Structure 1
Amino acid sequence: MSNTGMHVEYSSKTILELRNLQEQGHLNLEPGFQRKSVWRITDRRKLIQSVLEGYPVPSIFLYRRDEGGIPKYDVLDGKQRLETIFMFSRQHPFHRDGFEVKHEFAEDGCPHEWEWKSLERWERTANFLTYKIQVAEVGGSLADIVDLFVRINSTGKALTTSEKRHARFYNSPFLKEAERLARRHRDFLTSERIMSTTDIDRMRDVELVSELLASISSGGPIHKKQAVDKAIGNEAAPTRELNKAIDEFSATLRAVRQVCPNLKSTRFRNSAEFYTLFLVLWQMHQQKLILNDRERNDVAADLLQQFSDGVDAVREQQRKARGPTPEQQVYVDYLMLTQQSTDSLAQRKRRGQMIEQLLSGLFEAKDERRIFSPEQRRLLWNSDEKKCCSLCEEPLDWNNFQVDHVAPYSRGGRTDLSNAALACSSCNASKGAGRNSRW
């Protein structure tokens, strides 16, 4: 952290003063670099109990800046403490998130469950509202402030790698898109048990999506940390390249759903192995293989399930100190690649090669030509006696007819005359819109 321009002023503020700042809109609990809340209700109750009992709580760090001549305080450290105080005391916008805390007042002689309204009713809010919290107001450049945020949040529930990236690169277009995609596919990631609720809270879903986007942009598997940091920090990256990676990410995720519909019952729900399966299917897409044939996908799903079960069986034998059979050697080799340095480039490449070999030869390639040639168009037109749309029978002329793949190109239909038919533009467009043209 640079020492130039950085200054800190210490003071104390009562909870009432902090509530007033929040009410007046001067307190920003969600600056761009801030992480998500990860406290559970037990953490929140312990904090309120400490306040009610008069115990000191850690300092709050605020970054003061001017916004249109009005002071604004970005919370660097203490976000969850402030949230908890506002929740308990029913301060907007947390007025619906109140909770009860067990506390014994001296005059009662025994503990009771208290929530804010009952404290107000018994006129016992004064000590809570006048409780003082040490506040450090920090000034300096934004780069220094972000560095300070990362440092002071490296203890307690320390920042994850993804949370640190979010703090340092929160303006990165790449990171913003990764966060958007993670939100969009959150239900899939959690339902397939790739990510837990805690993982989502700690932004590990964003980290996984960032890795996959960076891998697509790099053309294959990457070494985790260096390549992801480079991709996120490269604000000069062309928008077109990023958009292409986003499209391919979404299309590949659809293929994962089709090829491995029971993902949560396999090893491939583990984030490191999910990464491998995802990249293998992405590379198959680059090779123009057809990944939406239901029968072939069923075979692929069975192969992946059997392979996963084989690796799990070897792992169980290891736990019982039983050696593998010669037939299990492929599972032993794969298991070794998942037990150490799982995110290294070499391990990722080797795992990918093994999954590629497992699925090798299963999927057919698309026709190299997607567009019918002028010669094919003339031959089809001259050989068709009706000269009308094969779908709606609308009359056609030379200037408005189109050539349609009878068996869709995306599903392996060949670009030859045996798979061609005349079509009007509206029918051809609606037919194309009704199927997944990417695959």
Structure 2
Amino acid sequence: MAFNPKSEYTIVPKEFGIKDFFDYQEDFVTRPPYQRKVVWSKKKKQALMDSLFRRYYVPKLVLREIRLSETSTLNEVIDGQQRITAVQDFFAGKYPLPKSLEDLDSSLPGKFYNDLDSHVRKFINKSLKYQADIIKDIEEPQNVSHQIIATEIFWRLQQGESLNYMEVAHAQLSSLTRNFIVKYADDQGFDYENYTPIDFNGSKHKFFELLSVDNNRMKHLQFMARFLMIEQGGGYADLSDRKIEDFINQNKVPDGIGNLSFEETKEAKVVLSTLNTFYEIFKSDPMLDENSGIKELSVEYFIISVYILIRHLNRFYVIDESAQENIRNFVYQFHERWKNYDEALDTDLMSFSNHRQQGERELEVRDIIIRQAFFDYLLKANLSILAKDTKRHFSEAERITIFRRDKGYCQQCLREGKPDHEARVSWSKYQADHVVPHAKGGETTIDNGELLCAYHNQSKGARI
């Protein structure tokens, strides 16, 4: 008996005139929910037109038949989105024929479709074709297994393409974190009920309007993924590209397609709250308009550092209008200092810059530096920020100074003779306490404070 597993779908070859994609655009879903938006340049589109005119080989399109009802179908473009939109744009008059066609006919270069002689338009309309493979039998748009197969086909076809890791993650439709990220960070949406792409995403968070970072290669989605990972890690996390892919893949579930339930998680709510505060702080910047973000918010590791600072302040302090102004002015001042620091004189900013990678330790180092700089800024300017928990004995600035003075080591662990690697306390888990207890007259000063690990602070019974 021959080994012959049953195919999950059938393939039917078909030929399309390229003008069909313009005349019947409503029949083609050029951007399925698992694909990125079009990124081809005019030069690349013109090169395709050159190939079509010369009858050079153009790879087959891969289309999936989608059945909306008993009497209507659509063609979903699994592979060939850019080839289709390139010819649609040509017929729409968005770019002219390339100079490279001059050897075929000197009248062709620079001509838009509507400017061409009728015999050339007839040649284009009747002679220029795309070959396609139509995938059938996985046609139900709400069928999870059908969507997964289509996504898997897309992914396998893109193995030789220059997709970045975020674009790969974007194709994981059944991931709950992917769906949350796409809803709040993508430029476009998708209507699953009518199975059609939406060119505008009204749910995109206004925070992204602040950034002087475009979203051409899903950079905004990358930021949102990293913010979620920071929250999941309790403040710091390894934000490397591979970890983002893992984060998306680990949250895939059988009923994940179109599922937005991740919004109800604590991590999602805290991230949205932090982004709301971030936006409120900077929304009045006069530099902002529909085409421009804030120039100080253009470098990824600087933006992430400011986000972590605001995340902390949002958790523990009252962010009223006065606090918003102080935070905003500090960020501008810190950015100016960062861009112009003297390596010989400003070792903090040198360390900040040298720890620009997105590892967990690098985030912690940058956070310590920017947080201390913020409270130093308040102190020097005779400003203050109201803590939500007024029972804190040591101020934030004092806690930072104590941590850095004690170099991140639990002082009681060192007194007990423990090695450095056991005495080491991360910034996120460190606790400050009085050397001479407050109940015995000890003052709440830096000189009377020390760094303790959670175990020794709780043992002492004086946790703050």
TM-score by length of 2: 0.62
In structure 2, what is the Cα distance between the partners aligned to 1:52 and 1:114? Answer: 14
State the AA in 2 paired with 1:162: M
Percent identical residues: 14
Partner of 1:312: 339
CA 1:276/1:255 → structure 2, altered by over 3 Å: closer, same or farther? farther
Aligned residue for 1:101, secondary structure, equals coil
State the AA in 1 paired with 2:248: D
Partner of 1:352: 367
Query: Are the equivalent residues in 2 in contact too, given 1:52–1:128 (CA < 8 A)?
Result: no
Q: Deviations over 1:249-288 (max 9, x none)?
A: 442323541799889444x53122211211221121111x
Partner of 1:149: 154
Partner of 2:181: 178
In structure 2, what is the Cα distance between the partners aligned to 1:231 and 1:218? Answer: 15
State the AA in 1 paired with 2:41: R
User: Following superposition of structure 1 onto structure 2, how do residues 35-74 of structure 1 map, counting pairs within 5 Å?
Assistant: 35-69=36-70, 70-74=72-76
Partner of 2:352: 334
Query: What number of residue pairs does the alignment pair up?
Result: 339
User: Following superposition of structure 1 onto structure 2, how do residues 155-170 of structure 1 map, counting pairs within 5 Å?
Assistant: 155-156=160-161, 158-169=162-173
Aligned residue for 2:314, secondary structure, equals helix
In structure 2, what is the Cα distance between the partners aligned to 1:260 and 1:101? Answer: 43
Partner of 2:248: 229
Query: Are the equivalent residues in 2 in contact too, given 1:8–1:136 (CA < 8 A)?
Result: no
The alpha carbon displacement at 1:359 in A equals 1.6
In structure 1, what is the Cα distance between the partners aligned to 2:367 and 2:124? Answer: 62
In structure 1, what is the Cα distance between the partners aligned to 2:130 and 2:276? Answer: 51
State the AA in 1 paired with 2:298: R
Match 2:301 to one of 265, 272, 282: 272
Query: Are the equivalent residues in 2 in contact too, given 1:13–1:133 (CA < 8 A)?
Result: yes
The alpha carbon displacement at 1:333 in A equals 1.3
Can you give the 5+ residue segments of structure 1 that lack an aligned partner in the other structure? 91-96, 318-323, 370-439
Query: Are the equivalent residues in 2 in contact too, given 1:100–1:113 (CA < 8 A)?
Result: yes
In structure 2, what is the Cα distance between the partners aligned to 1:61 and 1:270? Answer: 38
Q: Deviations over 1:18-66 (max 9, x none)?
A: 438x628442212211210111222222212221232222221112343
CA 1:330/1:68 → structure 2, altered by over 3 Å: closer, same or farther? same
Q: Deviations over 1:113-171 (max 9, x none)?
A: 32222336345422553223232334564323212212322434x222222222112x5
In structure 2, what is the Cα distance between the partners aligned to 1:109 and 1:306? Answer: 58
In structure 2, what is the Cα distance between the partners aligned to 1:36 and 1:186? Answer: 19
Partner of 2:24: 23
State the AA in 2 paired with 1:131: L
RMSD over aligned CA atoms reads 3.7
The reply to whether residue 364 of structure 1 matches residue 364 of structure 2 is: no
In structure 2, what is the Cα distance between the partners aligned to 1:190 and 1:250? Answer: 11
In structure 2, what is the Cα distance between the partners aligned to 1:231 and 1:359? Answer: 36
In structure 2, what is the Cα distance between the partners aligned to 1:105 and 1:300? Answer: 59
CA 1:102/1:367 → structure 2, altered by over 3 Å: closer, same or farther? closer
Match 2:91 to one of 85, 89, 92: 89
Aligned residue for 1:14, secondary structure, equals strand
State the AA in 1 paired with 2:370: I
The alpha carbon displacement at 1:299 in A equals 4.9
Aligned residue for 1:63, secondary structure, equals strand
Of 356-365 and 233-242, more deviation after overlay is shown by 233-242
Query: Are the equivalent residues in 1 in contact too, given 2:281–2:324 (CA < 8 A)?
Result: no
In structure 2, what is the Cα distance between the partners aligned to 1:132 and 1:26? Answer: 17
TM-score by length of 1: 0.65
Aligned residue for 1:244, secondary structure, equals helix
In structure 2, what is the Cα distance between the partners aligned to 1:142 and 1:48? Answer: 32
Q: Deviations over 1:383-423 (max 9, x none)?
A: xxxxxxxxxxxxxxxxxxxxxxxxxxxxxxxxxxxxxxxxx
CA 1:259/1:27 → structure 2, altered by over 3 Å: closer, same or farther? closer
State the AA in 2 paired with 1:269: S
Query: Are the equivalent residues in 2 in contact too, given 1:87–1:98 (CA < 8 A)?
Result: yes
Query: Are the equivalent residues in 2 in contact too, given 1:14–1:129 (CA < 8 A)?
Result: no
Partner of 1:400: none
Aligned residue for 2:116, secondary structure, equals helix
Can you give the 5+ residue segments of structure 2 that lack an aligned partner in the other structure? 139-145, 188-202, 288-292, 379-383, 391-464
Q: Deviations over 1:304-353 (max 9, x none)?
A: 44443443345xx7xxxxxx32x321122111101xxx222221122112
State the AA in 2 paired with 1:179: V
User: Following superposition of structure 1 onto structure 2, how do residues 77-156 of structure 1 map, counting pairs within 5 Å?
Assistant: 77-90=79-92, 97-102=93-98, 104=101, 108-109=105-106, 111-119=108-116, 121-122=118-119, 124-138=121-135, 141-156=146-161
In structure 1, what is the Cα distance between the partners aligned to 2:283 and 2:32? Answer: 39
